[in-house]
């Protein structure tokens, strides 16, 4: 049955199927490697923050820049 299927496809059909399976396997391996690397980085960063410095309670939401002071915010006198 299998030999009849391959005889019907011919050499070109068999090569096309083999190539598609090979490319599909390589693409799947690349996706698995990418997600594996992302999960490893996430675990490493979580371990680093758990062991590292304590979290800052009052972190500046504006990044490195101070918010501009407005006239009504300044205290006079």
Q: What digits encode the pLDDT tens for the residues 32-68? A: 998 888 887 777 777 766 665 555 555 666 666 665 6
Query: DSSP of 35-72, one letter per residue?
Result: HHHHHHHHHHHHHHHHHSSPPPSS--TTTTSPPPPPGG
User: How far apart, in Å, do the first and last CA atoms of the chain sit?
Assistant: 98
Look up the pTM and report it: 0.47
Angle in degrees, CA 63, 64, 69, rounded to 5:
90
Q: How far is residue 61's CA from residue 67's CA, in Å, rounded to a whole number? A: 9
pLDDT score recorded for residue 72: 64
């Amino acid at each position: 049955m299998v030999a009849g299927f391959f005889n019907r496809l011919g050499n070109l059909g068999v090569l096309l199927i083999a190539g598609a399976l090979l490319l599909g396997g390589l693409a799947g391996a690349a996706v698995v490697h990418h997600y594996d690397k992302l999960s490893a980085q996430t675990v490493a960063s979580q371990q680093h923050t758990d062991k590292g410095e304590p979290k800052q309670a009052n972190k500046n939401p504006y990044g490195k820049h101070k918010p501009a002071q407005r006239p009504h915010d300044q205290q006079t006198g």
